[in-house]
Amino acid sequence: MHFDKSLELLLVHCQGELGHVLVNGAPEIPGATMLDKMNHINHVDDSLRRFVTFEPRANVAMSVNLLVPPTRADADAGFIVLQADRAHPMSGSNCICVVTALLESGRVAMQESETLVRLDTPAGLIVARAHCRRGRCVSVSLDNVPSFAECLDREIETSTWGRITTDIAFGGVYYALVDVAQIGLQIKPSNARALAEAGIELKRLLAEQVQVSHPTLTGVNEIAYVMFRDKEPDGAIRTCTTLQPGRVDRSPCGTGSSANLATLHARGQVSVGEVLTSRSIIGGEFRAEAIGTTEVGGRAAILPRVTGGGYVYGRTELRVESDDPFGSGFALSDTWGSRVDLLLKN
């Protein structure tokens, strides 16, 4: 069968969240650093992102991780998170998917019982400790980038819920962290659609009322996600991260857990060495721990470590044909939600 080009992906999920890994066939992305490459995708040429994240080759509840050679000598591999709205600098669940795929495909040599994998990301170097047994990557502990609280108890005005209080924090991307009781919902599967729609509406309002800009990462200047949170009776934090155009993260969210940990540390509610459990809307769990402190651009920050498991469950080949009428992809509101226009106008 003739086709112009093909892309090879490993199919991976982390606690139920799809984070496929594009391992072969992608074009070279210009840029001296991984941050440059991400900004090129977002501001110059997003055709690859659209091809792999929109229908008919993808669905709303997934990400694709672009595997690229590292731009720094101390890294084993580099990757960029591609989602339907844009390329993002970091994601904990996607990072776990990438490490799992690298080891179980033999692209990085596996050592039992622990393999150290260093990843070059637009947010910085991520050091991952993969726990390996019998040829499998059983779990991954990520030493994430420094995470910090940008502001605590920031109030925003809404027409639906009145005045909402949120914490703004960076955990690899910027988050707005909202106690879910403020919108009159609980974090449970039957509320997924309502939570998703609420999160997207709050993201829109936050863009109008709150400005952020990372002190050292050029182009990281938006609140990427709204994460709802709640305290469980056993002390775990129930999380629900919402993503454009209107869906919820199936995993407990590693960067969101890092951002939340930074806010708790800023309030003096968690100390270095204390381990918290982040639990997703479907019950998946990450362990989150502050292993140290530092500063970023004059801001007090923590060094977070997030641990969770990923699973390689298949492999696929996407064929590229120049005459494909849907080469740039499409999305419809029947599955992508009523705010699908937010994606298609980009």
Catalytic residue numbers, as ranges: 91, 253
Proportion of the chain in helix, strand, coil states, percent, rounded to 5: 20, 40, 35
Neighbours of 190 (CB within 10 A): 9
CB atoms within 10 A of CB 45: 13
Q: Give me the phi and psi of 81, to 5 degrees please.
A: -80, 120
Kindly state the DSSP code that residue 280 receives in the 8-state scheme: -
The DSSP result for 14-29, as a single string, is ETTEEEEEEEE-PPPP
Residue 263 neighbours by CB under 8 Å, 6+ apart: 149, 152, 167, 169, 177
Query: Cβ-count burial of 169 within 10 angstroms (0-12 exposed, 13-18 middle, 19+ buried)?
Result: buried
3-class DSSP state for residue 53?
Answer: helix
Name the CA radius of gyration of the chain, rounded: 19
End-to-end CA distance of the chain: 34
